[in-house]
Amino acid sequence: MNARLQKYFLVTFLLLSNFTAFAIPTVRLHAGMTIKESVIISKELYFLNAPKNLQEALVVIDGQNIIIDFNQSLLQGSNDKINPDEFYGLSLLIKKGSKNITIKNANMHGFKVAIFADSIENLVIMNCDLSYNWRQHLHSSLEKEDISDWMSYHHNENDEWLRYGAAMYLKNCKKAIVYNNIVTGGQCALMMTRCENTEVYDNHFSFNSGIGIGLYRSSHNTIYHNQLDYNVRGYRDGTYNRGQDSAGILVYEQSSNNIFAFNSATHSGDGFFLWAGQSTLDTGLGGCNDNFIYGNDFSYASNNGIEATFSQNLIMKNNLRFCDYGIWGGYSYNTDITDNTFENNRIGIAVENGQNFNIALNSFTNGQTAIKLWSREKQPPEWNYAKTKNTESSNYWIAANRLTSIKNAFDIAKTDTVVLSGNSKLFVENNYVIAENASNIDTSRDLEFLDIDYKKDLRLQTIKADQIPVLIVPQGKKEIRMTEWGPYDFRYPILWLKEVDSNQIYRFEVLGASGKWDLHKATGFTIIEKGGNGFPSTITAKAELGKQDQQIQLAYTGASFQDIFGKKKDSSLPIYFGFNHFNTQAKWNIQFFKWDAEHDPSKGFSQFQKLLENSPVFNTVSNEIAYNWWGEIGEHLPADSFATLAKTIMQLPEGVYHIGVTADDFVKLLIDEVEVINAWDSQLTELDENTHHSITIPLKKGAHTFKLVHAEKKGLATLQFYLTRD
């Protein structure tokens, strides 16, 4: 047991000894209760809805020297809701000013936030299962990314992070201990803002769709021996690997002097995502500095194993395998990257506009480039950072690294003063790729043997040197399978669409923990090949021409399991799972227009729509509306100040339809000339998650006209349309 935790329990024991014969009462939970003394919760199932807002709570703790033993009770909230993005309310509030509080043995599910602690000193949260609370409904599909799934942490001065929910949200807490807790099937596990001297260890925060552990203006904390795997979104193997700012560990906005040691944060968007903060970008001051990132496993990140930007830090002895970038260190400075293992990354270390780096004793095996250094031609004019600080790429010492089977060892451009010493190379195609605009690149001693030794950092003395925790599930990026509710966790049966070829041959994986499956029915498909009836297995099917309803349904028999929502499924009778798709068979006629000040969409729709009477600058036909424009909409066509008019007629069977549109900046949807979605408001694009708009609507059998009107002002543009049927 942690030494500080032992001391805390001893103090608590002595305090409780003043009570008569340790007569801690047993109480039942009820909505609106306030707990002011140590209690044991009667072990029951509590189905209690919290208040809709987060300013009130289902249960409040108010006082000092209190132990709440939930006794493995289950507290289930949002009992009038089904989907996780509808969950609401705060389960447990530890009231501001309370002190010496212990929460243990709790099971809380179905809330927007499970535990909120404000300005608490000596808080302990232990042995709790806070899984299956709020999470976002994701819209990125197997074929395309949806920007409404991106998360943003840039502002949290007023607890803006709470819009993403959390299993635990700690604010202004000091000397907290969070250990041996479980959070899975949610979005954010533990989020801390302005917390100090907190210890977070031996927790299991995996298979969430956002963040394992997040810090904002939180310093001098120690985070170690946590399992933070598969905290990911925005990934489709072989199609896109954006990560959408998900991460095993998030370190944001002036979070400094923290220790991160012996954590496993694999298969996440970023394994470790550190950004100095908006205040640093605005002033050039501060940063997320002097963090010690030691002995962690950040492998199989969809994007970066470690991203550490606009800051100075020490990165040592981490595993960074099979990532896109092992380390991305843009605009960082005074940074040491020592004795890390880089394997099978596209680029091992990439530093843009960095200064004063020591890169030594690292191992690089297999990859395109081991170390890439460069500088932008021009700094963004809106960055005060670049106006107040030197941002030239300069001053690197790269020594005693081991490079094996690398195409390009060192790729250096627009950088001044790099000393390369004693780097060993085996099966390296290009030792140096040095651009003409690089200067003072010293390779004269690079073939010499160099012996470097370093001492163990004293900050590790307080941490037992255990091995990194290992999650016993399949390993590899191809094992990241994103459902509409988050990463697949290998615990329930699923029919996973792996690929569709040009001949409309669908190849599926049949995945599950155990048990058997049989084909129950297939609609709109002809089954070509079926693997064995255990797990894993495969199915190959050909889509039948002209069929709108496409369904393959399988029947599972075997042991009980937890489904995607954490509900226990008893398989005494067959449980059905499979693949459902509604093929609209639409042909969209799409026109693009260039608008001027007279038709500015931000001035209102009535004046803007007159633009659509003009001749378009471009016409096209498409089977779907699935656009993400990062620049021009086409060669010699505009990137900004354009409009889109898309029309189609769909022949639909009678049914209830779920229709969605993701758009930046303005959009309207009309069905049979009736407006059903009106998002003609630029405020809806200020946060990415607000760019998606949806309705559920019954439609009669027959032909229905669909019309999308969209306008873009500047920057990223997107227009995506979705239709599914019950």
- 408-460 per-position pLDDT tens digit: 999 999 999 999 999 999 999 999 999 999 999 999 999 888 877 766 565 66
What does DSSP assign to residue 479?
Answer: G
- b vs e for 557-571, b when ≥16 Cβ sit within 10 Å of the residue's Cβ? ebeebbebebeeeeb
In the chain, the percentage of residues whose pLDDT exceeds 70 is 95
Please report which confidence band the pLDDT of residue 20 belongs to, taking 50, 70 and 90 as the band edges.
very low
Tokens of 251: 């370190």
Is the pLDDT at 17 greater than 50, yes or no?
A: no
How many percent of the chain have pLDDT more than 90?
Answer: 85
The confidence score (pLDDT) of residue 14 equals: 44
pLDDT band for position 631 (50/70/90)? Answer: confident
Query: What's this model's pTM, rounded to 2 decimal places?
Result: 0.94
Structure-block tokens of residue 557: 């028999």
Residues 6+ apart with CB under 8 A from 20: none
Contact yes or no for 361/337 (Cβ under 8 A): no
Cβ-Cβ contacts under 8 Å for 690 (sequence gap 6 or more): 148, 684
In the predicted model, is pLDDT for residue 290 greater than 50?
yes
Q: What is the pLDDT of residues 558-572, one digit of tens each?
A: 999 999 999 999 877
Which candidate, 325, 342, 337, places its Cα nearest to that of 294? 337
Which pLDDT belongs to residue 18?
44
Cross-strand pairs, 199:
177, 222
β partners of residue 174: 121, 196
pLDDT in tens, 488-528: 999 999 999 999 999 999 999 999 988 999 999 999 999 99
Residue 6: the pLDDT is: 58
For residue 439 the two structure tokens come to 């200067």
Average pLDDT, the chain: 93
Alpha-helix residue ranges (DSSP H) falling in 561-714: 605-608
Task: In whole angstroms, give the CA distance from residue 440 to residue 539.
Answer: 59
Positive/negative CA dihedral, 681, 684, 686, 688: negative
Residue 466 pLDDT exceeds 70:
no
Buried b (16+ CB within 10 A) or exposed e, 508-521: bbbbbeebbbeeee
Q: What does the block give as tokens for 455?
A: 């001492």
Looking at residue 563, its amino acid is: D
Long-range contacts of 347-355 (CB under 8 A, 24+ apart): 347/372, 348/320, 348/406, 349/325, 350/325, 351/393, 351/396, 352/376, 352/393, 353/391, 353/392, 353/393, 354/329, 354/330, 354/393, 354/396, 355/390, 355/392, 355/393, 355/394, 355/395
Identity of the residue numbered 307: E
- DSSP one-letter code for 598: G
The pLDDT value recorded for residue 448 is 85
Tens digits of residue pLDDT in 295-335: 999 999 999 999 999 999 999 999 999 999 999 999 999 99
Residues 202-218 have pLDDT tens digits of 999 999 999 999 999 99
> 25-72, pLDDT tens digit by residue?
999 999 999 999 999 999 999 999 999 999 999 999 999 999 999 999
